[in-house]
Amino acid sequence: MPRVHLLATGGTIASRRTDAGLAATTPAAELLASAGPPPDLDVTVSDVSTVASFALSTADLGALVRELRRCLTDDVAGVVVTHGTDTMEESAYLADLLHDDPRPVVFTGAQRPFDSPAPDGPGNLAAALRVAASPAARDLGVLLCFDGLVFAARGVRKVDTLRSAAFDAPGRGPLLRVTDAAVLPLARPARRDAVPLDLAAELPRVDVVPCYLGADDALLRAAVAAGARGVVLEAFGAGNVPPAIAEAVAGLVADGVPVLVCSRVASGPVAPLYAGGGASLARAGARFAADLSPWQGRLLLGAALAHDPDDPYRVLDAQLGT
Phi and psi at residue 314, to the nearest 5°? -65, -45
**Active-site option among 12, 82, 87, 108:** 12
Tell me the torsion sign for CA atoms 58, 262, 315, 92: positive
Concatenate the DSSP letters of all residues of 218-258 into one string. Answer: HHHHHHHHTT-SEEEEEEBTTTB--HHHHHHHHHHHHTT--
Please answer whether residues 81 and 105 qualify as being in contact, where contact means their C-beta atoms are separated by less than 8 angstroms.
Answer: yes
DSSP annotation of 13: G
Please answer whether residues 11 and 31 qualify as being in contact, where contact means their C-beta atoms are separated by less than 8 angstroms.
Answer: no
DSSP annotation of 53: G
Question: Is position 12 annotated as part of the catalytic site?
Answer: yes
Task: Determine whether 290 is exposed, middle or buried from the number of CB atoms within 10 Å of its CB (0-12, 13-18, 19+).
Answer: buried
Residue type, 195: V
CA–CA distance, 317 with 194 (Å, rounded to integer): 13
Pairing of the two strands 149-152 and 176-178: antiparallel
Q: Which residues are catalytic?
A: 12
